[in-house]
Chains A and B, each alone.
Chain A
Amino acid sequence: MDPLLPVPTVLPLLTAAVLAALGPVLRSRRRVLDAAAIAVAAVVTAVLVVIMVRTAGGDQVYWFAGFRPAHGAAIGIDFAAGPLPAGLAALAALLVTAAMIFSWRYFDETGTYYHVLMLTFLAGMTGFCLTGDIFDLFIWFELMSVSAYALTAYRPEERGPVQGALNFAISNSVGAYLSLSGIAIVYGRTGALNMAQIGQALAGHRPDGLVVVAFVLIIAGLLVKSAVVPFHFWLADAHTVAPTPACVLFSGVMVELGLYGIARVYWSMFGQSLGHQATVTRTFLTLGLLTAVVGAMFCFRERHLKRLLAFSTVSHAGLFLTGIALLTPLGLAGAAVYVAGHGLIKAALFLCVGIVLHRLGSVNETWLHGRGRLLRVTGAVFTLAALGLADMPPFATFRGKGWIEASAAAHGMPWITAVFVICSVLVGGAVLRVAGGVFYGLGDPPSEEPQMAAEASEETGKTDHARRRTPATMIVPAAVLAVAGIAIGSLPHIGPAVQAAAVRFQDQPAYNATVLSGAHVAHPAALFAPEPAAITVTDLASGLGSAAGALILAFLALYWRRLPLLRRGFEPGAGLEQPIRRFQSGVVNDYVTWIVIGAACLGGTLALSIR
């Protein structure tokens, strides 16, 4: 057993406990706390990259306390690491490192437990990725969630963070309890908590009511975490008020972990027994595309920078779910690389917004118009990242999106490309509009909304605005992450490598054998065959098209008042907007109602189609 496997989870936990135990001593020595947190996060990143490389040839399993399975029954808990889980965990650790470096100068003073909570958050994320036990998955999910709630409410002197944290906590808790119910139900049938053992026990039997119900319930909590419509309302509230480094993690990787959880649960436990691939694809494709469109629409109408980025995350979550829903290796590989690229770029964007907040004291796009001109480097990084968000080649987002579109087209759904392009144009256009308006003073400021102005100017708590220079520790991580987004997309053999990892991830019998009997499966075979992953003309057309479309849309958004033709026509959605925006009411009672009706509808759909 590879002794490195427990390190990504245990090391941050141990460090968090040590930092808290030394709390009274370290309280005045903040730099020690910062350095410790950065060091641990960096070490964890390196360890996970090593694990990712080492598991390319086959998953590695680590049994805690040495309790190996006997006769196909597991009595202990395991970590089962493959390249996809380890890669996602590495992304999480990298973003934590960047966020902690950014926090070095971002906070004038940190509260007692900021570093501790970031470390427990990291441990929850890596544990969630690597574990092979469904209840253990739930535990790391809870640790991630509780740390996130606490980080959201970080500035309780203001009103926004409390509302955001409460809505976040209550919504996600309801989802978590639904998932726990699903876990109990599947345990009642199979008498096991190990994912491979459950998968093996369920496979080969026809899917009856219990299997469908357990699947839907377990997925329900993960869908809430993934901010899929209609479970997504909490995300915008949480992002608007959480401190910037926390937002980096929420958007960059926490939401994506929910989607990973769905993929993991499906392909290690329920895939073989549910069958009905066409139904599953159709259902989750609908959810994914609905989420993508709704998120993109809300994103474009936002004026609060963080909220705008939050809705763009919702939109991308929908696109990732679409890739997973295709159930093909290329679709999953596309989603994986898209997640990686998006995580790096979104983190860079949030860090830039943090710099704007730090230097200028606001996140209101209208007020900030033109005021960002002195932040030249930040503006450049922000614009570069914005182009990445619009899926321009050679960003990793372009590669991932291209694969999802190719796989969809090969399976009879070429129109998905159109939806992807529309969403990229809307989201990219919104962010480029911000780039052009705030950092370059182009065009006119967008229309003022008094409520937005009030809340967007609230975020001046622990940061001291009107600093003269942007500290290096704030701009360098942002720049590095944006460039990394390009670098990953340009890796030469990324296609075959990631797709091979996806095939292995999707091969349920191989996973079961590896975990339960230690067998090494040299050639995993998934249900759908791998497809070519080279860059095609269609990919380039769609990627360049989205980027061009986004630029045009941003230009129109900035200059529409000056163009005679459009003066009348460009607020056409205004009449629709108010009723739609009323859905995002800020009242958690509404959010939980949507979770309930969403779960019921999803359950009903699958119950009626899976027999």
Chain B
Amino acid sequence: MTGRLRLWIFVAGAAGLAAFVLWGLAGLPGFGRYPGPYGDIINRVAVAQTNATGVVSAVNFEYRGFDTLGEEFILFAAAAGIATVLRRLRGEHVITTRREALDRVAPPASDTVRAAALAATGPVIVLGWFLATHAQTSPSGGFQGGVLLTTAFVLIFLAGQVLLFRRASPADLTDVAGAIGAGGFAAVGVAAVIMGLPYLSNFLPLGGMPGAVTSSGTIALVSFLVGLEVAATFLLIVTELTDQALLVREGGR
């Protein structure tokens, strides 16, 4: 189709679709008037049932843990796809010496950027670790923590330490860590089955006080595994994409 024809067909369709969607949205109860019951039930019972005060994490890792398992594996499959597509095509090899790296890397960042990036790396790692392990108590969780942990590695890259970045995130390690995170989550569910409970039940002791770090049984464990997997997956993604800047063809381009 020519561009103009496509545009006109699209505009007609989009106008119709927008009107249609708005007509449907008009039937909703109204902004700010959530009718329940799903959210209300969970809010009422979650703290008592799981000893977790962070109800969103309780939903993610307990009530709808099976969904989260699926999402984990979507991440895992996406990483597998990226690794397959970008890695080591025939006739290309990865730079391993400092001289080669300097030839290909983008112009070095300014000293301010480097200093700031290096200084921020430590705190970011601590914060990411905190988020990944405190899902049950605060607005945190494996997903957020994992992404922050990846950011720490990106900061290393931004600080110009390209080779350190490459050596700190070898492909095998990220693959295995990601697989352990995803597989670990699935395995926690199997452990429940071995104990005679339905898959993914919370079988660890719930701990004393709601909201303590050691409470809520499998929620904390699963959140940590999710954090591991998310960190590894995003690190793999960032590594592969930045690698493309470093890849040299055998033909010498």
A114 to B189 alpha-carbon distance, docked (Å): 25
Question: Are A16 and B23 in contact, with the CB atoms below 8 A?
Answer: no
Give the residue of B37, B74, B198 whose beta carbon is less than 8 angstroms from that of A64.
B198
Pair B28/A189 contact, Cβ less than 8 Å: yes
Complex CA distance for A19 and B80, rounded to whole angstroms: 12
- The answer to the question of B130 belonging to the interface, with a C-beta cut-off of 8 Å to chain A, is no
**A13–B65 CB distance below 8 A:** no
Q: Are A112 and B198 in contact (CB under 8 A)?
A: no
Contact assessment for B20 and A136 in the assembled complex, using a CB-CB cutoff below 8 Å: no
Give every chain B residue within 8 A of A120 (Cβ-Cβ): 73, 76-77, 80
Q: A18-B179, A113-B84 are in contact. Are A150 and B13 (CB under 8 A)?
A: no
Stretch of B118-126, B157-165, B199-207 contacting A (4+ beta carbons < 8 Å): B199-207
Contact with B along A15-35 (1 / 0, CB 8 A): 011111101100000000000
Which residues on A sit within 8 Å (CB–CB) of B83? 112-113
Q: Which residue of B lies closest to A142 (CB)?
A: B74
| Cβ distance B135 to chain A, nearest Cβ, rounded Å | 16
Query: Given A64-B200, A65-B62, does the pair A597, B27 have CB atoms closer than 8 Å?
Result: no
Verify if A279 is at the interface (C-beta below 8 Å from B): no
Choose one: A18, A146, A156, A208; the contact of B77 (CB below 8 Å). Answer: A146
Contacts of B183 in A (CB 8 A): 14, 17-18, 20-21
Secondary structure of the B contact surface, majority rule: helix
CB of B21 closer than 8 Å to a CB of A: yes
Nearest chain B CB to A320's CB is how many angstroms away? 26
Contacts of A23 in B (CB 8 A): 172, 175-176, 179
What 0/1 readout, one digit per residue, does chain B (171-201) give for beta carbons within 8 Å of chain A? 0100110111011101101101100011111
Q: How far is the CA of A136 from the CA of B182 in the complex (A)?
A: 17
Residues of B within 8 A of A185 (CB): 24-25, 28
Residues in B whose Cβ lies below 8 Å from that of A492: none
- Evaluate contact between A150 and B38: CB separation under 8 angstroms: no
Chain B interface size range? 35 or more
Given contacts A1-B198, A66-B197, whether A213 and B187 have CB atoms under 8 Å apart is no
A598 CA to B9 CA, complexed, in Å: 10
A76 to B29, CA, bound (A): 24
Q: List, in ascending order, chain A residues with CB within 8 A of B48's CB.
A: none
Determine if A65 and B66 form an interchain contact, defined as CB atoms under 8 angstroms apart. Answer: yes
A196-215 Cβ-contact flags toward B at 8 Å (1 or 0): 00000000000011111110
B80–A116 touching, CB < 8 Å: yes
B223 to chain A, nearest CB (A): 15
A191 close to B (CB within 8 Å): yes
In the assembled complex, which residues on chain A have CB atoms less than 8 Å from the CB atom of B106?
none
Distance of A210 Cα from B25 Cα, bound (Å): 6
| Residues in chain B near residue A582, CB distance under 8 A | 1
Q: Is the CB–CB distance between A10 and B199 below 8 Å? A: yes
Chain A's interface size range is 35 or more
Instruction: Verify A111–B84 contact, CB threshold 8 A.
Output: yes
| Closest Cβ neighbor of B71 among chain A residues | A139
Contact with B along A80-115 (1 / 0, CB 8 A): 000000000000000000000000000000011110
Q: Which of B13, B65, B179 contacts A597 (CB 8 A)?
A: B13
List, in ascending order, chain A residues with CB within 8 A of B76's CB.
16-17, 20, 120
Q: For the complex, what is the distance from the CA of A123 to the CA of B42, rounded to whole Å?
A: 28
Contact of B70 among A66, A116, A139 (CB under 8 A): A139
| Residue B98 at the chain A interface, CB threshold 8 Å | no
Query: Which residue in B38, B41, B87 is a CB contact (below 8 Å) of A193?
Result: B38
Mark the stretch among A36-44, A306-314, A599-607 that contacts chain B: A599-607
CA distance A116 to B176 in the complex (A): 13
A153-B85 contact given A6-B199, A20-B175, A600-B17, CB 8 Å threshold: yes
Contact: B85 with A64, CB < 8 Å? no
Determine if B74 and A596 form an interchain contact, defined as CB atoms under 8 angstroms apart: no
Q: Is A532 an interface residue (CB 8 A)?
A: no
From B15, B35, B67, B69, A13 is in contact (CB under 8 Å) with B69
**Residue B241 at the A interface, CB < 8 A?**
no
Select from chain A the residue with minimum beta-carbon distance to B170.
Answer: A24
Query: Any chain B CB within 8 A of the CB of A183?
Result: no
For residue A76, which residue of chain B has the nearest CB? Answer: B63
A593 within 8 A of B: yes
A192: which B residues are within 8 A, CB to CB? 37-38
In angstroms, Cα B211 to Cα A128, docked, is 35
Is B64 part of the contact surface with A, judged by Cβ < 8 Å? Answer: yes
Given known pairs A143-B73, A600-B17, the reply for A191 and B35 (CB within 8 Å) is: yes
Instruction: Write out the residue numbers on chain B whose beta carbons fall within 8 Å of the beta carbon of A65.
Output: 62-63, 65-66, 192, 198-202
Taking the closest CB of chain B, its distance from the CB of A601, in whole angstroms, is 7
Q: Given A65-B200, A185-B28, A597-B10: A150 and B84 within 8 A (CB)?
A: yes
> Which of A73, A113, A123 contacts B81 (CB under 8 A)?
A113
Residue of A nearest to B199 (CB): A6
By a CB distance below 8 angstroms, the chain B residues around A187 are 38
A234 to chain B, nearest CB (A): 16
Residues of A within 8 A of B10 (CB): 593, 596-597
Residues of A within 8 A of B198 (CB): 1, 62-66
Set A18, A76, A142, A216: member contacting B20, Cβ < 8 A: A216
Nearest Cβ on chain A to B249's Cβ, whole angstroms: 12
Looking across the interface, which residue of chain B has its beta carbon closest to that of A598?
A: B13
Whether A64 touches B24, Cβ cut-off 8 Å, given contacts A77-B67, A593-B10, is: no
B107 interface hit (Cβ, 8 Å): no
Which chain B residues (125-183) contact chain A, with CB distance < 8 Å? 172, 175-176, 178-180, 182-183
- Given contacts A24-B176, A185-B28, whether A213 and B38 have CB atoms under 8 Å apart is no
Q: Which residue from B14, B16, B27 sits with its C-beta under 8 Å from A189?
A: B27
Chain A min CB distance to B149 (Å): 19
With a cutoff of 8 Å between Cβ atoms, the chain A residues found around residue B200 in the complex are 64-65
A17 pairs with B186, CB closer than 8 A: yes
How long is the Cα–Cα vector from A133 to B65 in the complex, in angstroms? 13
Could you tell me the distance between the alpha carbons of A123 and B87 in the complex, rounded to whole angstroms? 25
For residue B15, which residues in chain A have a CB less than 8 angstroms away from its CB? 600
Nearest CB on A from B193, distance (A): 7
Alpha-carbon separation in the docked complex, A139 to B74 (Å): 8
Closest to B18 in A: A600
In the complex formed, the residue of A with least CB distance to B38 is A191
With the chains together, A539 CA to B30 CA distance in Å? Answer: 54
Asked if A64 and B199 make an inter-chain contact with CB atoms under 8 angstroms apart, the answer reads yes
A213 to B21, CA, bound (A): 6
- Specify the chain A residue showing the minimal Cβ separation from B173: A24
Residue A517 CB within 8 A of the other chain:
no
A-side contacts of B4, CB under 8 Å: none
Contact status B74-A143, CB under 8 Å: yes
Cα–Cα distance between A596 and B65 once the two chains are bound (Å): 34
A596 contact from B17, B24, B89, Cβ within 8 A: B17
Q: Is the C-beta of A147 less than 8 angstroms from some C-beta in chain B?
A: yes
Q: Say yes or no: is A154 at the interface (Cβ < 8 Å to chain B).
A: yes
CB of B29 within 8 A of CB of A188, answer yes
Residue among B87, B186, B189 having the largest count of chain A Cβ atoms under 10 Å:
B186
8 pairs across A/B with beta carbons < 8 Å?
A17-B76, A17-B186, A73-B41, A143-B70, A217-B21, A590-B1, A597-B13, A600-B14
Q: What 20 additional pairs, Cβ within 8 angstroms, besides A24-B175, A112-B80?
A: A10-B186, A14-B190, A16-B73, A17-B180, A23-B172, A65-B201, A133-B67, A147-B81, A157-B90, A181-B21, A189-B27, A189-B28, A191-B35, A192-B37, A210-B26, A211-B27, A213-B21, A583-B1, A590-B6, A599-B17
Q: Which are the 7 A-B pairs with shortest beta-carbon distances?
A: A213-B24, A150-B81, A17-B183, A210-B27, A600-B16, A597-B13, A21-B179
